[in-house]
Amino acid sequence: MFLAAIGASAPVRPRTAAHAAPAKSAKTWIGRAARIEEDLKTAEVVRVEDIGTGVTRPRRAYLKPGGIVESLTWKVLPPAYRNGYWESYKSEIAAYELDKLLGLNMVPPAVEREIDGSVGAAIMWVSPTTSVKQMGGKVPTDRIGGEEIRRMQLFDDLIGNSDRNAGNILVDEANEVILIDHSRAFVESKDLPVKFARVDADLWTAIQGLTADALRSHLGPLIGERAVDAIIERRDRMRQTIDELVAKNGRARVIIPAHR
């Protein structure tokens, strides 16, 4: 599993001034997510092309020029088990909705829409970015600070995502991490797929603040009640793991403030 290679024992470098230097961010949805969601839902599709990568066979749909979104990833995966994996286009949308609840800003906008008679997830195509796979398959710790790794790990444990790999971790020109491909997440398993030794303080606070009512309201219609219950139980297991790490190593070595 790819995440094991960047897990608890992997060295990660702290964020430096070079990482914080102004550069072109591909997170252009921040501050105008509602407009982008509407474009993804309603903008006219002028052509659809095969991407040629990805086991879930996503395609790229180009939208009529003039809108704020040029193209989108189009994924048609009705909820079902395939080749031993739970897969659903609705999980892509749920990942984005949970990202919004947490204020994470790492998952691009995703909505449900119909194209050519099929219903699926329309996910904003983010560019320019480079995947970790394109970088050689190893997380570039000279570009990505430990904060991003910690946040990714917590998020994947919360959503039960065991499918994180070098191809679905993107890095933009501002050295910001963007997470894609969550169609195999939100399983009903209570297991934590990622081992960690340190956590991001702000994200962990946000995760603890999620209420069962908010999760059921925002995610229940997409993933079902049992999957929501699994999120809550995984959070309980995360809390237990963090408490044990704090008892062993001390709070300051486990719960890390931003930009440290």
Cα dist from 78 to 82, 94, 115, whole Å: 10, 14, 14
What is the per-residue pLDDT for 11?
40
Is residue 22 pLDDT above 90, yes or no? no
Is residue 17 pLDDT above 60, yes or no? no
What is the edge-to-edge ordering of all strands in the sheet holding 118-124? 45-50, 59-63, 71-75, 118-124, 110-115
User: In which band, very low, low, confident or very high, does the pLDDT at 23 lie, cut at 50, 70 and 90?
Assistant: confident
CA dihedral 8, 9, 11, 16 (to 10 degrees): 30
In 3D space, the residue among 246, 234, 250 whose CA is nearest the CA of residue 153 turns out to be 234
The H-or-E segment that residue 21 falls in is: none
User: In which band, very low, low, confident or very high, does the pLDDT at 15 lie, cut at 50, 70 and 90?
Assistant: very low
What predicted TM-score, i.e. pTM, was given to this entire model? 0.90
What is the per-residue pLDDT for 6?
57
User: In which band, very low, low, confident or very high, does the pLDDT at 2 lie, cut at 50, 70 and 90?
Assistant: low
- Distance from C-alpha of 126 to C-alpha of 71, rounded to nearest angstrom: 9
User: pLDDT by residue (tens digit) across 26-69?
Assistant: 999 999 999 999 999 999 999 999 987 666 679 999 999 999 99
Contact 149, 140 (CB under 8 A): no
Q: Which two three-digit tokens encode residue 56?
A: 């879930």
- Distance from C-alpha of 104 to C-alpha of 11, rounded to nearest angstrom: 23
Residue 201: how many other CB atoms lie within 10 Å: 17
User: pLDDT by residue (tens digit) across 141-152?
Assistant: 888 889 999 999
Contact 113, 119 (CB under 8 A): yes
Residue with tokens 């999980």: 91
User: pLDDT by residue (tens digit) across 193-252?
Assistant: 999 999 999 999 999 999 999 999 999 999 999 999 999 999 999 999 999 999 999 999
What is the per-residue pLDDT for 56?
66
What is the per-residue pLDDT for 223?
98
3-state secondary structure 106-150: CCCCEEEEEECCEEEEEEECCCCEEECCCCCCCCCCCCCCHHHHH
Q: For the residues 128-152, what does the mean pLDDT come to? A: 92
Extended strands (E) in 125-260: 129-131, 169-172, 177-179, 199-200, 255-256
- Distance from C-alpha of 161 to C-alpha of 126, rounded to nearest angstrom: 21
What is the per-residue pLDDT for 10?
42
What is the per-residue pLDDT for 38?
97
Is residue 13 pLDDT above 50, yes or no? no
In 3D space, the residue among 224, 188, 192, 147 whose CA is nearest the CA of residue 4 turns out to be 192
- Distance from C-alpha of 108 to C-alpha of 121, rounded to nearest angstrom: 12
What is the per-residue pLDDT for 20?
46
User: pLDDT by residue (tens digit) across 154-178?
Assistant: 999 999 999 999 999 999 999 999 9
Residue with tokens 């606070």: 205
Q: Please report, for the chain, the start and end positions of each structural domain, with discontinuous segments joined by +.
A: 25-256
